[in-house]
Homo-oligomer: A and B are copies of this chain.
Amino acid sequence: MLSNSRVAYREHNHLRCQNAAMQRARSLCEQHKVRLTPIRENVLRLLWQSHRPLGAYEIIEQLSDAGEKSVKPPTVYRAIDFLLEQGLAHRLATLNAYIGCPFPGNPHRFAVFVCQACGSAAESSFEAIDNAIGAAAARADFEVHGQAVEVTGLCPQCRGKADD
């Protein structure tokens, strides 16, 4: 079981998260002989600016603000597609948003836990979830190809604050 929930919801030196993610990305792209171009790298860095999932148009806006010329949707969507293909990012269907994967390189199914209060998301690859889904699928004689498990609720930090 891999999870970044210990760190994602807490105060922490996030620059380390970001730098480590960028380092892993460079390394994996080299390994896979694919190009982590400046655009792709910039998008990934934005996804890692925090543990909050980012919408495509937020990325477009931030990239446009950063550079001189306005960035168009296809540019960003292509970068996102690349990151998704390489397993460097995930798409959260319930939010129409994207998040950097903390465990790229380890092919994994995952569940994501999104805090409704602070917006932070942690990823967990907990085998028991996959196994339970597999068991339910087996009963239905269904062959699983992919899964999306997205949980909303309150993270420990936010739960402490407003405990109504």
Contact = CB atoms under 8 A, between A and B. Distances in A.
Nearest to A126: B136
B124 A129 contact: no
A68 interface: no
A135 interface: yes
A5 B139 contact: yes
A93 interface: yes
Contact of A136 (B111, B139, B155): B111
A93 B128 contact: no
B148 A149 contact: yes
Given A131-B132, A132-B129, A151 B155 contact: no
Nearest to A95: B93
A154 to B, nearest CB: 4
A6 B142 CA distance: 11
A66 B3 CA distance: 50
A119 to B, nearest CB: 14
Contacts of A83: none
Contacts of A150: 93, 147-148
Interface string A117-142: 00000101010110111011101111
The 7 A-B pairs with the shortest beta carbon distances in the complex, nearest first, are A5-B140, A128-B132, A93-B93, A141-B156, A126-B136, A145-B153, A129-B132
